[in-house]
Amino acid sequence: MDKTKILIIEDDEAIADLLSYGLTQEGFQTCTEANGAFGMKQLDQFQPDLLLLDWMLPDCSGLDICRKVTHQYNIPILMITAKSDITDKVLGLEFGADDYITKPFDLREVIARIRTILRRLEQANHAHDRVTPEEAHIHFKHIVIIPDERTVKKDGRTVDLTPKEFDLLKTLIDHQGRIFTRSELLEFVWGYDYAGDTRTVDTHIQRLRKKLDASDLIKTVFGIGYKFEKLED
C-alpha cells in the first residue's frame, strides 16, 4: 500500500525537521519546502494527500497559498501558525483550511489532527463509492449537484464552490428539513466545534445563497441555525 504523502511548507527549519521526522516515524511520506513558491511546485511534483501549511512564509502569506490550493487542488489543509486570535482562526478557515493548530504544539496533537482529517476524507470517499447511478445527481430549481465529481451546475454552468462550501451544501441537502446549529455544522463539515468559530458558518452560508440564488431553500432558523427546505418529489 502506498504511504500517505504529506507536504510541509514551513520556513522554520527546526519545526519542519521535527514535523518531517515525527510523521515519517508514523508511517507517512513527507516532503518539506521553506517558502510558498517551491511549495506550490511540489503540489504538482510530489502530489501530496495533505498539506501542512505555515501561516507566515518568507515570500508570501500562507493564506495566499491556502486560497490557491483550495481552488486548484482537492486536498485537505492543516494550518500551523503562531497566530492564536480567534479572528485569525476564522480567517484561515474561510480561506479553505480544514483545521488549525497554533505554535507551540505537541507533535502528538498534530498527528492526531492529521489522522482525523484523513479519516473524514476516507469516510466521504467511501460514501461516494456507495452512491448508485440513480442517486448520482441531485436536482433542485435550476441547480444540479454531481456528488462523485464534487461539482455543482447552475443553468448548465459550473458554479465555483470551495471544498468547504460544497461540503456544507451537501450536508444540508442530505438532511433536508433538519435544523442544524452552527456548532453542529462545524462538527459535520469542519470536524470540530470550537466556541466562537461559528462565524465562519454564517459566511459560508451567505456565499452559498449568493452563488446558488437559493435564499428560499437555505433557511435561517432564528436563534438556532440553518436548514435546507425539503424538496418536493
Does residue 87 sit within a domain? Answer: yes
The answer on 82 and 46 residing in a single domain is yes
The answer on 118 and 79 residing in a single domain is yes
Model pLDDT, residue 25: 94
Task: Give residue 8's identity as a one-letter amino acid code.
Answer: I
Model pLDDT, residue 196: 47
Residue-range definition of the domain harbouring residue 196 = 132-228
Write the CA distances from 170 to 9, 141, 151, integer angstroms.
30, 16, 11
CATH code for the domain of 187: 1.10.10.10
Model pLDDT, residue 103: 85
Q: Which of 107, 128, 149 is the last residue in one of the domains?
A: 128
Does residue 233 sit within a domain? Answer: no
Model pLDDT, residue 7: 96
Mean pLDDT (10-residue bins), the chain, 233 residues: 86 94 94 94 93 91 87 86 71 79 89 86 62 65 84 88 86 90 84 61 89 90 90 67
Does residue 220 sit within a domain? Answer: yes
Q: What is the pTM of this model?
A: 0.64
Give the total number of structural domains in the chain: 2
Q: Which of 128, 160, 180 is the last residue in one of the domains?
A: 128
The answer on 179 and 69 residing in a single domain is no
The answer on 149 and 114 residing in a single domain is no
Other CB atoms within 10 A of residue 87 CB: 10
Model pLDDT, residue 195: 46
Does residue 11 sit within a domain? Answer: yes
Q: Which of 108, 128, 148 is the last residue in one of the domains?
A: 128
Angle value at C-alpha 203, between 200 and 209, nearest 5 degrees: 140
Q: Which helix (H) or strand (E) holds 51?
A: strand 50-54
Q: What is the greatest pairwise CA distance in the chain?
A: 58
Write the CA distances from 230 to 23, 52, 196, 233, integer angstroms.
44, 38, 29, 9
Model pLDDT, residue 119: 83
The answer on 104 and 71 residing in a single domain is yes
Comparing CA positions, the residue from 59, 62, 60, 58 lying closest to residue 79 is 62
The answer on 177 and 162 residing in a single domain is yes
The answer on 144 and 120 residing in a single domain is no
DSSP string over 93-156? HHTT-SEEEESS--HHHHHHHHHHHHHHHHHHHHHHHT--GGGS-EEETTEEEEGGGTEEEETT
- The Cα 208–Cα 215 span in angstroms is 9
